[in-house]
Structure 1
């Protein structure tokens, strides 16, 4: 693939952390700095999903839409922040592979929010919007226990506290 200078100059940030860690707030900050923001939760909400976890086939559709938009935006030379949990290395690697043909190496922003704070935030959720989806306590604990923090050997990682 012939990669233009404009495409090579784009930056991609993968915002990574469990539900309640502050990913969406962080992604919104980056959007105010000029990044195009892609949000898993907003796309799932648009599709009518109001509970966690989103069914597997729906998650696949949402990720397909995010990937398509990411490629289009990077192709335009835009900076992009992707707001989803990226709870596993495999998920992060799949998005890295997607932008590699553009000569880009995404930076992972790992929201390292203390467990007690995550649980406190999730307990206050009321289901009023895509970033306020209720996560029951048992599921919140499962999310925290299943989360795979990024390793430095994955590539650039910025820890956000």
Structure 2
């Protein structure tokens, strides 16, 4: 069970798709938001909550059935990571956080190249991108299993 973690543009979705090719079931916040018609960031709060509820319900079903799962969302705050850990603890599952450590310049370059062509290409305004980066809470080993993936591998 893997929680992909990193700011917009860090490479989470690309990395998660590689894990999917290796047999993981991919649950993607951006894919679900796109399917629901959301084309702007940030997604409205009520929609964000609904999407996370959907992902958590699906995650519980998959983990209970023995599937290997990767959840692709920013997990920008410790509390957001804690919510998923708390959900999984009664099931006897401890997720590993895969944190994509990507330099700010690369994040901004990737975000700036987005064209709204799909769920992993949603345009983010420069001001919003800076807010995402500045507000991001980097995970630490005291949160549990942590795997850091550094640029250029991210």
Asked if these proteins are the same fold (TM beyond 0.5), I'd say yes
Q: Does 1:98 align with 2:54?
A: no
In the aligned structure 2, how far is the partner of 1:81 from the partner of 1:22? 14
The alpha carbon displacement at 1:102 in A equals 1.4
- Secondary structure of the equivalent of 1:66? helix
Aligned match of 2:71 in 66, 82, 89?
82
Q: Unaligned stretches of 5+ in structure 1?
A: 1-11
1:25 is matched with 14
> What stretches of structure 1 move > 6 A for 4+ residues in a row?
none
Please report the TM-score for the alignment, with normalisation by the length of structure 1. Answer: 0.92
Max radius of gyration: which structure?
1
CA deviations over 1:35-94 (Å, ceiling 9, x no partner):
000000000001100000000000000000000000000011000000000000000000
2:128 is matched with 139
1:123 is matched with 112
Residues paired across the two proteins, number? 150
Matches within 5 A, 1:56-75: 56-75=45-64
The alpha carbon displacement at 1:151 in A equals 1.1
Please report the TM-score for the alignment, with normalisation by the length of structure 2. Answer: 0.97
In the aligned structure 1, how far is the partner of 2:50 from the partner of 2:23? 26
- Secondary structure of the equivalent of 2:108? helix
Structural RMSD (CA): 0.4
In the aligned structure 2, how far is the partner of 1:148 from the partner of 1:139? 16
Q: Unaligned stretches of 5+ in structure 2?
A: none
1:109 is matched with 98
- Secondary structure of the equivalent of 1:108? strand
